[in-house]
A and B are shown apart, each in its own frame.
Chain A
Amino acid sequence: MWGNYALSLYRTLTRHRLYAALNTLGLALGIAVCLILLLVVRFENSFDRWVPDAERIVRVNEWFSFPGRPPSEDASTQAILLPALKQDFPQIEAGARIWAVKTIVRAGDRQSFEDLALTDPAIFDVFSLPFRSGNAATALPDLNSLVVSETMARKYFGTVDAVGRELTVVVDGAARTYRVTGVLKDLPPNSHLELGLIARFDLSVVPSMREFLSRWGSSMLYTYLKLRSPADIAAVQAALPDFIDRRAHDATSSLHHEVAQYRLIPLAGIHFRDAKTGAAFKPGADPLFIGALGVMGVVTLLVAVVNYISLATARAGMRAREVAVRKVMGATRRALVVQFVAESVVMALAAGLVAAALAELALPAVSAVLGEPIHLTYFGAGGAALPLVALCVAVGLLSGVYPALVLSGFRPAAVLASARTPGGGRSGARVREVLAVGQFAIAIGLMACAAVIFAQIQYLRNADVGFRRDGLIVIQGINDPAVSTNMRSMLDAFRRLPGVVSVTASDRRPAGEEDSNGNVSLVSNPKVEPILTRERVGEDYAQTYGLDLLAGRYLDMKHGLDDRASLSDEVYATRGVNIMINEAAARAFGFTQPSKIIGERVRLGRNRSGIEVFATIIGVVRDVRFASPRNPPAPQYYMQDSGLANTDAAANFAAAIRVSEPDMPAVTKRLETAWRTLAPGVPLRAETVDRALKPYYDPDARRGQLFAAGSALSTIIACLGLYGLAAFNTARRTKEIGIRKTLGASTADVLRLLVGEFLRPVLWANLIAWPVAWFVMRSWLSGFDQRIDLNPVYFLAPSLAAILVAVVTVADQTIRVARAEPSRALRYE
């Protein structure tokens, strides 16, 4: 019996090669796309779940909602938060802070920048990290102990057996000798943490930061907690508003739960949360987008399954005679259903094999695009073999049952008595049309989404960031203690280099996330008291960054009151310094017309001696975007200060160098030479602004590419289905076409008829695809502060493309049939 079925299947497949190929290939493509996208989704979802007790580990995020500023969430918290939490909440089993500081590591004659994680020894109680040598209990006995990752051990010692070896690390300007007490296995790629070098956190290690690490007004580091049970998370979270009101007060800051909240982010959710909060260690993943990829995978699979059903019912008519003869020979309906479903399952399994091969071929490229290792494993925990087989069997069943019922339901007498093919033709035509509408709706919708995503990414790439980002190099660390005394001569040296147009310095920089904020009030209306970000800038700032002046004038060293350093404390307190603000700040003060705010005096707060200081607004510039295009730029003011280097150490000063563009690489070389002469002990950290901003733009661009590829494949699959249907339909209608031609229809008449019929489902599909795509894309775009408008072109173009593809797909076969001599069509009656 089964042998006979196999033979029948083999004959059917070899006789109808086109159908066999379309069926297998379409389904395989669908499964492959679904498989790859689900692997991506699974990888993104697997972050940190491998950590033991992950379900009761949290990071404390801080959420701010200051009047006049958009609400923001930050991964960093105060250094004094953890001790307070531990005192107040017995539910905390262990807690640890991590402060990732940029340090210089010296090994022999080479030196390089590394992130050093300054942390509490309890880090190993919170995270049971895998040790290669050493152990958690003995890992960080004192301030000179160092735990390194395998990679770091290999990098600096050439071996993973590094316990007992020494390493010189420059922390806060002072070289310290650390002794390796443990080697950690490298963390798996699905960890939000990146730990290469781990040492103990203590105020004595970072003396210059003592002040900032001891107050509620400065959020500097990450706080992780391990609670006694998962249920404690909600309990502690509920008590945190009271905790803030009770605890978070000191001379510098007074937080209360209406403007600041702590949020406990479960470990497994941190990777997704980091997409919004600004990544702590590595870029987070936007959960909306990851969800969209998953949906697209499933939808693409659906399209392929629909194809399969569609082609199978279409083919049903062609096998009517076989069914009839089998029935006459005594086959029961049940036996026939079993035969056809089995055929379908076998085909689906074959498609599954092809799909696995396609996925294997595509995964390296997908991994490269995403910058994340996506692997396909077959057996063991998380192996794909079993789900894949289950999926294929399910798809086989799903796509086999309906055609099997249609086929097996033919009445043998009617089939055998008639010369015509029953069923398959008209019966099921409506079903197939509905399926085609669904497929094309999906394809058009996906293409429209891909078009919008691409346009948005393209827009962001070229979008106005408020300054000229091309030809700009930023050098960090110019207030490193080893450099700061030389800072002025360093900047002057840069200025003299050929190819350098202008040079400036400031305590904010593109892609730098440290901000210093404070309330600023209008003297004329003290009730208006928005929180502004302060940026201290050196000379030539506006020229170097290429700011756009909206009203007033730029800060200029020629005006005495424009330079903070040239003002005595007395003048500063009475007359005040001149400042420049951005558009957002003007709005925050309630001025829609920037020119109206020029000349207004503002109260900047109190200086360290407790004296109130003032400033006069002399210019308004367009908002500058130093970070993610997803978030609106904060209101801020610019204060010029020629004595930058002498000010506090918490700021991270950076130089910006405008370069006449063609010289870029040569200029970078010259900068390096100049730097090495003046700061031989410190490696140069130079980066073009384009490069520095990449992390804010790249993840979206990469996922956009993946989405575009998926939607293209989905369209191809839909077209494969349409091609099959066209082939079937023209074959079925050969006789009708013959009659029409006999009656005088020209080839063009016939073409119009057949192509028109195929376009109908495509046109209907638009009506479904447009609103859905519009709605989805509107909500996606709303996540961006800078975004494109939803233009009808994004929806019409995919529709036109679908129509074009549909026409080309069916045209070939249709033309062939339409041009044939009518007598051929009518010959077999």
Chain B
Amino acid sequence: MITLADIHRQFRTDEVETTALRAIDLNIEAGEFVAIMGPSGCGKSTLLNIMGLIDRPTSGRYLFKGQEVMDLREAELARLRRDNIGFVFQSFNLIDELTIAENVELGLVYRRWAGKERKARVEAAMDRVGVAHRARHYPHQLSGGQQQRAAIARAIVGEPSIILADEPTGNLDTENGEQVMDILKTLNGEGATIVMVTHSPAHADIAKRVVNMLDGQIIVSARRAA
């Protein structure tokens, strides 16, 4: 599904240059559930963004579903993203001005789906994560757990082949966190590939493989016995 080889990522500001990732080699197979762990600032989110094609590595090779993506144009990256990848963020990143249903629908809009088909899919996705009754509410009218479930609905509505989740439980209480993890586990069980950044060892335990990072490098990549 994803093959990263010798990936480097540097950030440059006026005064300083910081290296976020160095020499990352990582291979993720279809159907895997991978947890990425490590202290703050070790490069977890940067790695996830690169995998999700919303950031570009400074150097290295990246094959997504066997396709070389380093040299793709912006529009082609956008197309790959919307057809294959679902995102879940720590801070939900729902658009304040849109209702829950409209937020969930957004990815399908950009796929140019017809209105009727969109509606059915959106309802199904919301139903699945238990926010269908909040469809016409705005994000700020929902609890954090509900917002995150809505964000998951948005991520899965297009039936992506891979879901990238950046600390999806980071802003949630234990109960809501468990609910979100249950959903992700179910999705993985149905065949979706999931890559999740997390600080929680308990949640990492749910994954089939744990990647540990420090200072922009992968130090351990351990597959758990099934």
Interface residues of A (CB under 8 A from B): 419, 426, 735-736, 738-747, 749, 819, 821-824, 826, 829
Contact = CB atoms under 8 A, between A and B. Distances in A.
Contacts of B154: 743
Given A826-B54, A829-B91, A743 B97 contact: no
Contact of A745 (B49, B97, B110): B110
Contact of B107 (A743, A819, A821, A822): A743
B54 to A, nearest CB: 4
Nearest to A825: B54
B75 A746 contact: yes
B106 A743 contact: yes
Contacts of B110: 740, 743-746, 749
Contact of A826 (B93, B95, B107): B93
A744 B138 CA distance: 22
B55 to A, nearest CB: 4
Interface in B76-111: 78-79, 81-83, 87, 89-91, 93-97, 106-107, 110-111
B148 to A, nearest CB: 14
Given A743-B87, A819-B74, 8 more contacts: A739-B94, A740-B110, A743-B81, A743-B107, A745-B78, A747-B74, A821-B56, A823-B49
Contacts of A419: 91
Contacts of A821: 54-56
B75 A740 contact: no
Given A735-B93, A736-B95, A739-B95, A746 B54 contact: no
A747 B73 CA distance: 11
A298 B111 CA distance: 50
Contacts of B78: 741, 744-747
A740 B154 CA distance: 11
B52 interface: yes
Contact of A742 (B74, B87, B90): B87
Nearest to B46: A823
Interface in B28-72: 46, 49, 52, 54-56
B96 to A, nearest CB: 7
A430 to B, nearest CB: 12
A740 B106 contact: yes
Interface in B109-157: 110-111, 154
B40 to A, nearest CB: 13
B54 A744 contact: no
Q: Tell me which of B91, B93, B97 has the highest count of chain A C-beta atoms within 10 A of its own C-beta.
A: B93
Q: Which of B49, B52, B79, B154 has the most CB of A within 10 A?
A: B49
Contacts of B111: 744
A744 B89 contact: no
A746 B79 CA distance: 8
B111 to A, nearest CB: 7
B131 to A, nearest CB: 17
A426 B97 contact: yes
Contacts of B87: 742-743
Nearest to A425: B96
Contacts of B54: 738, 741-742, 821-823, 826
A277 B49 CA distance: 79
Nearest to A420: B96
A742 B52 contact: yes
Contact of A746 (B74, B91, B106): B74
A746 to B, nearest CB: 5
A739 B154 CA distance: 11
A826 B82 CA distance: 17
A735 B110 CA distance: 17
A208 B94 CA distance: 96
Contacts of A822: 54-55
A826 B48 CA distance: 13
Interface residues of B, number: 27
B90 A829 contact: yes
Contacts of A746: 74-75, 78-79, 110
B157 to A, nearest CB: 10
B90 A743 contact: no
B49 A744 contact: no
Nearest to A737: B95
Q: Which 8 A-B pairs have the closest CB atoms?
A: A744-B82, A823-B55, A823-B49, A822-B54, A744-B110, A743-B107, A823-B54, A746-B78
Contacts of A743: 81-82, 87, 106-107, 110, 154
B115 to A, nearest CB: 17
B65 to A, nearest CB: 16
B53 to A, nearest CB: 9
A364 B134 CA distance: 66
Contacts of B107: 743-744
28 contacts: A426-B96, A736-B96, A736-B97, A738-B54, A738-B93, A739-B94, A739-B95, A739-B106, A741-B78, A742-B54, A742-B87, A742-B93, A743-B82, A743-B107, A744-B111, A745-B78, A745-B82, A745-B106, A746-B110, A747-B74, A747-B75, A819-B74, A821-B54, A821-B56, A823-B49, A826-B54, A826-B89, A829-B89
A743 B52 CA distance: 10
Contacts of B83: 744
A823 B85 CA distance: 15
B55 A742 contact: no
B56 A742 contact: no
Contacts of A747: 74-75, 78
A732 to B, nearest CB: 10
Nearest to B98: A736
Contacts of A738: 54, 93
A746 B49 CA distance: 17
Nearest to A747: B74
Contacts of A749: 110
A749 B111 CA distance: 11
Contacts of B82: 743-745
B202 to A, nearest CB: 23
Nearest to B78: A746
Contacts of B96: 426, 736
B159 to A, nearest CB: 13
Contacts of B74: 746-747, 819
A821 B49 CA distance: 10
Nearest to A746: B78
Contacts of A739: 93-95, 106
Indicate the member of A738, A739, A819, A821 with the most B CB atoms within 10 Å: A739
A739 B52 CA distance: 12
Contacts of A745: 78, 82, 106, 110
Nearest to B107: A743
Contacts of A824: 55
A816 to B, nearest CB: 13
A364 to B, nearest CB: 46
Nearest to B103: A739
A819 B46 CA distance: 19
A740 B105 CA distance: 11
Nearest to A819: B74
B144 to A, nearest CB: 13
Contacts of B94: 739
A738 B166 CA distance: 15
A743 B154 CA distance: 9
A821 B52 CA distance: 12
Given A747-B75, A822-B54, A742 B81 contact: yes
Contacts of A735: 93
Nearest to A739: B93
Point out which of B49, B78, B82 has the most chain A C-beta atoms below 10 A from its C-beta: B78
A740 B106 CA distance: 8
A84 to B, nearest CB: 80
Nearest to B151: A739
A757 to B, nearest CB: 10
A756 to B, nearest CB: 14
A715 to B, nearest CB: 30
A741 B52 CA distance: 11
A437 B153 CA distance: 38
Contacts of A819: 74
A282 B82 CA distance: 74
